[in-house]
Structure 1
Amino acid sequence: MSTIHPDPEATGAETPHLDFAGTTPYEDYVQADVLTHLQHPLSDDPGEMVFLVTTQVMELWFTVIVHEWETAAHALREDRLTVARDALKRSVRELEALNASWTPLAQLTPAQFNSYRGALGEGSGFQSAMYRRMEFLLGDKSASMLVPHRGAPRVHAELEKALAEPSLYDETLALLARRGHAVPQSVLGRDLTQKYEPSPEVEAVWAEIYADPDQNDELVRLGEALTDVGELVWRWRNDHLVATRRAMGSKTGTGGSAGVAWLEKRATKNVFPELWSARSHV
């Protein structure tokens, strides 16, 4: 084994350890070599590499955000509001970073996107399993979204579990009920595999909480943390819509999706709906 000689100008206690028997501890922990060799563009267009890496970065942020929201949901179940709020606050910063991931793709022209769009084949963002877990945690559930993953048993099982579990908002409403607020049984006992639908009674609960912030300080802060999350989810959907509209107009999306028409519909929806509508009654 050859010996690596440090720079003679780097002497004393500040000299970093440079000689390792195998891979560096950094590599062992981060596995950067794995990450930086996951890119296999299918066209000769240089823009495809940017598209591919940006998409992979988004998947990593999805993974972190799912971790945070699952942490928050578990904490809410155990009435640990500080832990839940801390996880939600971290996810807000992570959502900001996720949304910034659109920047490299935000000004794609149709000609630029067409240069490698064919290489995507039937691939489409709506097939992302980790993004689907994010949506399920937000209460936006649909059993049909498991269908694309039937060929991947582990992924399918994880999504099936997420579909059946309470969403982040379900856990919030259950906590409000335990605190004595009048969340109706029709909401608390609903089929958790179905998409959450707004409830006038839940809207009234949030209006009551927000109308007396001194009495309900802890719950108002929880509501605001969820609202911060909801706002950034809405911004994510709108950024996705604008980037897609610039790159391909109203053409059919990859994978047979409705493209812009589907994204426009999604962009009009707010997660945690009563947290928004209740503000009109305070």
Structure 2
Amino acid sequence: MESLLQTLDLTDTGARTEEDIFTGPSQKMPHGRVYGGQVLAQALTASMRTVDEERSVHSMHGYFLRAGDSELPITFAVDRIHDGRSFSTRRTQAYQKGVPILSLIASFQDEDPGLEHQEDMPRGLPAPEDLPSAAEVLGDLDHPVARTWANDRPFDMRHIPSPIYLSVDGEHTDRQALWIRSTSPLPDSPLLHQAALAYASDYSILEPVLRRHGIPWATPGARIASLDHAMWWHRRARVDQWLLYVQDSPSASGGRGLSRGAFYTREGSLVASVAQEGMIRIPALR
């Protein structure tokens, strides 16, 4: 969690031309590529730095353009597209070696009363305390990726019905859920919790596509990468308290898979919705 907080503590370069320029570090990854949730959260944080603190993000849409190098820092250029009476819009480009690796647009809003309804949270699911953590599932494996997933992630994730790290047990279905929360408490900043939720939202969102076809993460030669990512925040919540992340995949075709997700508090409040399409290439199918 300390590493995540350092990653989100962007440096303002002071440049004020047509864009606001920030820089941030990359978290070390065993495969050498920047984790997509990291650059999403950083780009969102850069956008937040240019908006009145009273306005919170309600939606973002991002495209992953290139794989990032986890050994290099990232530069973020924020374009202040629009500031209206209730909404602000920002476009943020993330760069490494002078070329963009992510393009993101985010919208911010003053909180305003209005209509209220939500889809209900699924009931009858196991509690997080009754499920194994990634450290318990992967802790005995002597592999750099397994060690990172077991011990170095800033979030504890507990799958329902079971994780698909090494195998897909049980029914090959296009639905799953998991409980998730940060491994230690976070400061009280609501904007920080929103950015951290964006970070966590990328971890497992493509798993319903894989689970539907019985494909674990450890499949030899599998190439899986996020293509785009959309997220909508509905209500405030803390990521250092357990959230239920419900996920499904309505379609896979053309070497791509689409997944949707929804975050709920333990009390059943719908916090955020997510959608992502990813590239999924399996050697046996080519």
Going by fraction, where is helix more abundant, 1 or 2? 1
Going by fraction, where is strand more abundant, 1 or 2? 2
Give the shorter-chain TM-score range: under 0.3
TM-score (norm 1): 0.20
Considering Cα pairs closer than 8 Å and 6+ residues apart, tell me whether 1 or 2 has the greater RCO. 1
Asked which structure has the greater CA Rg, the reply is 1
TM-score (norm 2): 0.19
